[in-house]
Each structure stands twice: as structure tokens, then as C-alpha cells.
Amino acid sequence: MVARADFEYSDGADGAEVRFTGRLTLARLGDVPARLDALGPIATLDLSALERIDTVGAWIVTRTVNEHGSKVVGASADAERLLEALASDKSEYRVHRDRRPVWARMLEQVGTASVAIWHELLGIVGFFGAMIVALGIQIRARRRLRWNAVITRFQTVGVDALPIIGLMSFLIGIVIAQQGAVQLEQFGLEVFTINLVGRASIRELGLLMTAIMVAGRSGSAFAAQIGTMKLTEEIDAMRTIGVSPMEAIVLPRVAASTITMPLLGFYASLCAIAGGGAFVWVGLDIPPLTYIQRLREIIPMTDFYIMLIKAPVFGILIGVTGCYEGMQVRQNAEEVGQRTTSAVVAAIFLVIVLDAMFAVFFSTLGWN
């Protein structure tokens, strides 16, 4: 059985005389450092009975010598070489790292996250610029866009998303109508629930919830697909045979999400209005014909224009973010999952930020 590190000691005139036994190594060190610290002044360290010593054991001996001015005797040739190497090292070592205050650690984490977000944003902007350059080269060279790939993405981004987006929007319309009716009923203004549902659905919520859903479905799919292609070196193979990954992979996906987003946003708005109409009919006894006539009176065309302006921007943002994160995969399959998550989080965050900026911009134009 391998002997653990241990020591015997006796009291001397100038301090304790310590004689080590066993193996003074990291694996067999045990509580030797704590017991040495509890001895008080140490005059002599006898290493003659040691079976083995490694760098950690030599550091324990060197630390004791520096703290107590101890004398080392009985060291083997290997132990002397380790002790000589550590003798010139004046660095300050601690067994346990100093624990910083909570506020300092919190500020460090916030700063690290902020720097990471800034670099991510710069990367997305740079990737968007590279995509624009690739599109310009394709147009100048008069090469056709890969419409087969674009139409395939229409299926995944648009058609396959219709059931879940329609159901979600329909239920959100019911929730908006119900909550609005509860508040407006206190003032006898239940009829204005139609105003709330109509304008909120067309101008904001229909498109915003659609963008969040598309980011979760399609943005993550883009990142996972491209990340897997990076791991299997398909991207490198395309570059080798002279095919631009930006033209063959990125542009069709971004084009599909850009073209599909206005259609999905309009579809989601209609579903939300239908959900609100169902609640108004059942809960407030307002017939569907009155509901439709009221919607025609209170929804201005500017709300529709705002939706059409924002939708392609959101589509471009979701497509670019998903493709960018997929292109950043470098090492293993775990990074594919991490980049997929980053694509969804970044796309949703940027969509919400841009939506707020659009709201302020259109308000300054008087499109209220």
C-alpha cells in the first residue's frame, strides 16, 4: 500500500524539528499543510525518510522555510533540484483564492456579458455586410438567385409555421379582448375593446409574436443546419469546389425569411382579430358584422403600412442572426446547441429592440 504523507516532530531549542515520512506528493498530501501551520515555529525539516516528493511537496517545504527560516536536511538529489527551482520563485501563493465582495463579482459578470454582447453585435453587423457584398457580386455577375433553395425554405419558414402561428395569434386575440373588456367595462366602454384588439393586432402584436415564433423555429433551424454543415466540413468542401457558402446557403435562407415575414405577420394579425371577434361576440354580445364595421372605421392604413415596413426588417434580422451563429460553430456538437440557443436569444432581443425603436420613430412622424 502506498504510504500517505506524514511527519513526526520533536521540540528543539529554536523550534520544532520535523521529520517527513511517506510520499510528499499532491495525491498523498492529505492534511499535512494544515498540521504544519499548527506547529508554530519550525527549526528543521528532515526529508531523509521521504519515499517521494513532487513539485507540490517541494512547494510546501519551500513555503515553510520562507515563513520560519527552517533548515532543510536529508534531501535527496531530486528533492534538492525541486527546492532550488522553487527557491527563486518569489510569487505569492494561497491555498484558497481570496473571495472578492459580491458587488465586485456582479460588476465583473455584467461587464463580461456586456463585452460579449457588443462583440456579438459587431459580428452580426459584419456578417450582414458580407452578405450584402455577396449579393452585389451575384447581381453584377448576373447569376440567378437559387430559387429552388428559396422555395424550399418557404415551406419550412412559412407553410409549416401556419398552424402554430395561427393558433397562438387566435388565443392572444382572445386574451387581449378579455383583459381589455374587463378594464373598459368599469366605464361602460366595452365597445372600445374592438379598437384595442384591432389596432394592437395589426400594428404591433401580430407581427411581433410572429417574429418571436419564427426566431424560435426558423432562426434556430438555420443555426443548427449550418452548424452541422460546419462540423461535417461541408462548408469547406463548398469553398474548395468554388461555390460560395454565402450565395448557396445564407442568401436563400435570408431571402425566404424576408419574403415570408410580411405574409406571416398579416396572417397572424387576421387570426388575432378573429380571436378577439370571437370573444366580443360571445362575451360582449357584439355581432360579427358590427365588429367588422367598427374595425374598418378605427384601423388606419398607416398601421398596415407600418407592419409592412417592419416585417421585412425583422425577417432579415432573424435570417442573418441564425446564419451568423451557425457559421460560428468551430469545435464540437455541443457548440451547435450553444450557437442555436444564442441565435434564438439574439434574434428575439434584437427584434424587440428594433420594434421599440420603430415605435418611437413612427410616433415622431405622427403615425399614431
The pLDDT, as a whole number, for residue 270 is 93
Average pLDDT over residues 101-118: 88
Q: Which set of grid coordinates corresponds to residue 297?
A: 372605421
Residue type at position 161:
A
Distance between CA atoms of 66 and 257, rounded to whole angstroms? Answer: 68
What pLDDT was estimated at residue 97?
A: 56
DSSP strand pairing (6-11 vs 16-24):
antiparallel
Q: Any idea which residue has 374598418 for its cell?
A: 296
C-alpha cell at 303: 398601421
End-to-end CA distance of the chain: 84
pLDDT at 164 > cutoff 90: yes
Tell me the three cell numbers of residue 224. 443548427
Neighbours of 355 (CB within 10 A): 16
pLDDT of residue 333: 80
Please tell me which residue, 190 or 307, carries the higher pLDDT value: 307
Q: How many CB atoms lie within 10 A of CB 351?
A: 24
pLDDT of residue 312: 94
Domain boundaries, the chain: 5-86, 97-143, 146-365
From the list 314, 155, 331, 138, the residue with the least C-alpha distance to 243 is 138
Could you tell me which CATH number the domain at 5-86 has? Answer: 3.30.750.24
What pLDDT score does 96 carry?
53
Please give the pLDDT value at position 165: 93
Task: Output the pLDDT for position 93.
Answer: 55
Q: List, for residues 52-87, the tens digit of each pLDDT value.
A: 888 888 888 888 888 888 888 888 888 888 888 887
CA distances from 347 to 12, 312, 362 (A): 72, 14, 22
- Give the rounded percent of residues in the chain with a pLDDT score beyond 70: 95
pLDDT of residue 73: 85
Residues 6 or more apart whose CB falls under 8 angstroms from that of 102 comprise: none
The whole-number pLDDT of residue 92 equals: 59
Per residue in 238-286, pLDDT tens? 888 888 888 888 999 999 999 999 999 999 999 999 999 999 998 888 8
Check pLDDT > 70 for residue 343.
Answer: yes
Cα 133 to Cα 126, 140, 148, 230, 317, distances in angstroms: 11, 10, 22, 22, 17
pLDDT of residue 91 exceeding 70: no
Asked if 174 contacts 279 with a C-beta cutoff of 8 angstroms, the reply is yes
In the chain, beta strands by DSSP E: 6-11, 16-24, 42-46, 50-53, 71-73
Q: Name residue 52's beta-bridge partners.
A: 23
Q: Which whole number is the average pLDDT over 157-173?
A: 91
Mean pLDDT in the chain? Answer: 86
